[in-house]
Structure 1
């Protein structure tokens, strides 16, 4: 352990070095000039500090005050050495952050006893810090494990919902990946990008409650049937609402908000502009783009150019204009996702 000694009297320094080096497994570091000692402290962490009170340039009180202001030095034990019995000096030293005192002339037995106590305190402090670091790392590990399990459960639930949907299974994956790329493009934090990726896969989970005769109908839905179809947004929200999980909270926002329109003409609440959750606005673009560029039983796939033209036409109406403009800049990434997760390739893998 490192013991720092600051005293302008070289004889006092030598006495302290001799006693401490023989009595403890330590590395005494000594300075006659307190200013040089302070410079050393800016880059080093002593385990115990002995500082004289009466010194030129900077006295013991000033040194203690400056030392305590250095990062990570608020818990280091400091013993002030003084021949002054003035209680006001000692009270001031305690206010500045002194841990203990030694009177001059120094008594060897007292020095050893006080040093042993201070080093024991320092060792306990280090053990507490190490324990706290270990606990922090363990909490992070367990939290990561929980998030991974939660993420797996969500994707499995999404896959289950796919069996109730006429869309292909890879639609959910593409929408999730498109949403993540768009979130990245607008510089959302990496944690939020990952949340959107997972949560957007649940955008149509409410279709588990949609009747088959409506879900699989190839003709245009009548007014009543369309009203029932729109309920999937509320069903999805009800499935995931009131969760303490950030993923589920965002998934609930996306489920209820991905059919809202920027101009307020969407459903189920008729929200407009920024009142629509950002994650839902992102997912809406990803969902529509993938629907347009995918083949369905009732339509052929649109080209990317045609789909982008439609996004432009609906910019400010259906979609957030800012997000539309940013989506158009990530088309190379979108094309890569389409190639990797095409319906044909996925069917060949089955």
Structure 2
């Protein structure tokens, strides 16, 4: 147990050092608060005994600096000649000391209070170690749950892939593109993790569209196109009324991912900021990926042609601010597409 004793009175400091060494503690000393703070920051200190009134930096100020600069728990005992109740309350509550000893001190009292400090330090550190282990366990379990959710969702989406051969790779890429764009837009990691999965469910409503329309090679009739458009409503119904944040995001994406910034989209004709940011993210990457991939009813466009077409619609179809961020990420999107065919 390492103890730092701080006092500008040489006699008091010598007595403290004598007794603590006698009781088997490792002792460091300092003659003022500034020197003590330097030693504290360079050594592993467990307990501090500090005088109240000292030049350059007094005891309470030293205690505050220690609390501000240490992540480890340190037990602090304030040595003081002040005996008034208000002073002692101030030492414990305002300065942040754990205990105090009135000078001149009795060796037996000093030993008893230091031993209390030693037990407290050991218990506190065991508690912190337990909490760290618990946090690590929770994080690990959270990762397992997240991985289970992701795998389950992708396996369920394979039902779409069996009907619509383009869907499988597309849904994986949309999730990865969306997560990267969300990160660049400043989202928190929790929300990024959510959109990674939620974006992949953007077309889940297609499960309610008949094969004859979904897989039609020719141009759709106006009536057939209206049926295709209904996949947004179907997806919203499938994912609606959930209390899980990830599924709430997925609901918005499934329902609104064909909305346009100027209000000309479907199914609700939302305009501008009415469209949730998650939806705006998916709208961008969905168009980017869909136009760059061949479909049964059309050939794939080159990336140059895709970006040119999207640029023409940057203010009518897309959130302009997100569009600017999106264009900076194109090299990364190419790598994602290459690794997720």
Measured against the shorter chain, the TM-score band is 0.7 to 0.9
Taking a change above 3 Å as real, the CA distance of residues 90 and 208 of structure 1, as seen in their structure-2 partners, is: same
Matches within 5 A, 1:103-114: 103-114=102-113
Q: Is the 8 A contact 1:166 1:216 kept in 2?
A: no
Q: In 1, distance between residues paired with 2:83 and 2:306? A: 86
Q: In 1, distance between residues paired with 2:98 and 2:144? A: 43
Q: What is the aligned partner in structure 1 of residue 208 from structure 2? A: 209
Q: Is the 8 A contact 1:204 1:233 kept in 2?
A: yes
Q: Is the 8 A contact 2:174 2:282 kept in 1?
A: yes
Q: What is the aligned partner in structure 2 of residue 345 from structure 1? A: none
Q: Tell me the SS of whatever aligns to 1:145.
A: helix
Taking a change above 3 Å as real, the CA distance of residues 277 and 48 of structure 1, as seen in their structure-2 partners, is: same
Q: Tell me the SS of whatever aligns to 1:163.
A: helix
Q: In 1, distance between residues paired with 2:204 and 2:212? A: 17
Q: What is the aligned partner in structure 2 of residue 269 from structure 1? A: 268
Q: Is the 8 A contact 2:75 2:121 kept in 1?
A: yes
Q: Is the 8 A contact 2:21 2:27 kept in 1?
A: yes
TM-score, with structure 1 as normaliser: 0.83
Compute the displacement of 1:269 (Å): 0.9
Q: Larger C-alpha radius of gyration, 1 or 2?
A: 1
Matches within 5 A, 1:80-95: 80-95=78-93
Q: Is the 8 A contact 2:262 2:317 kept in 1?
A: yes
Matches within 5 A, 1:56-71: 56-57=54-55, 62-70=58-66, 71=68
Moved more, 299-308 or 254-263: 299-308
Q: In 2, distance between residues paired with 1:40 and 1:212? A: 75
Taking a change above 3 Å as real, the CA distance of residues 99 and 283 of structure 1, as seen in their structure-2 partners, is: closer
Q: In 1, distance between residues paired with 2:198 and 2:41? A: 47
Q: In 2, distance between residues paired with 1:69 and 1:112? A: 26
Taking a change above 3 Å as real, the CA distance of residues 276 and 23 of structure 1, as seen in their structure-2 partners, is: same
Taking a change above 3 Å as real, the CA distance of residues 151 and 183 of structure 1, as seen in their structure-2 partners, is: same
Q: What is the aligned partner in structure 2 of residue 141 from structure 1? A: 140
CA-based RMSD of the aligned residues comes to 3.0
Q: Tell me the SS of whatever aligns to 1:138.
A: helix
Q: In 2, distance between residues paired with 1:176 and 1:74? A: 40
Which sections of structure 1, spanning at least 5 residues, go unmatched? Answer: 343-350
Compute the displacement of 1:303 (Å): 2.5
Q: In 2, distance between residues paired with 1:341 and 1:52? A: 65
Aligned residues: 338
Q: Tell me the SS of whatever aligns to 1:50.
A: strand
Q: What is the aligned partner in structure 1 of residue 297 from structure 2? A: 298
Q: Tell me the SS of whatever aligns to 1:319.
A: coil
Compute the displacement of 1:36 (Å): 1.9
Taking a change above 3 Å as real, the CA distance of residues 320 and 131 of structure 1, as seen in their structure-2 partners, is: same
Q: Tell me the SS of whatever aligns to 1:114.
A: helix
Taking a change above 3 Å as real, the CA distance of residues 105 and 237 of structure 1, as seen in their structure-2 partners, is: same
TM-score, with structure 2 as normaliser: 0.85
Compute the displacement of 1:103 (Å): 4.1
Q: Is the 8 A contact 2:4 2:29 kept in 1?
A: yes
Q: What is the aligned partner in structure 2 of residue 151 from structure 1? A: 150
Matches within 5 A, 1:1-350: 1-24=1-24, 26-44=25-43, 46-53=45-52, 55-57=53-55, 62-70=58-66, 71=68, 72=70, 76-95=74-93, 96-165=95-164, 167-184=166-183, 186=185, 188-189=187-188, 192-342=191-341
Q: Is the 8 A contact 2:215 2:296 kept in 1?
A: no
Q: Is the 8 A contact 2:236 2:255 kept in 1?
A: yes
Q: In 2, distance between residues paired with 1:85 and 1:206? A: 76
Q: Is the 8 A contact 1:3 1:48 kept in 2?
A: yes
Compute the displacement of 1:260 (Å): 0.7
Which sections of structure 2, spanning at least 5 residues, go unmatched? Answer: none
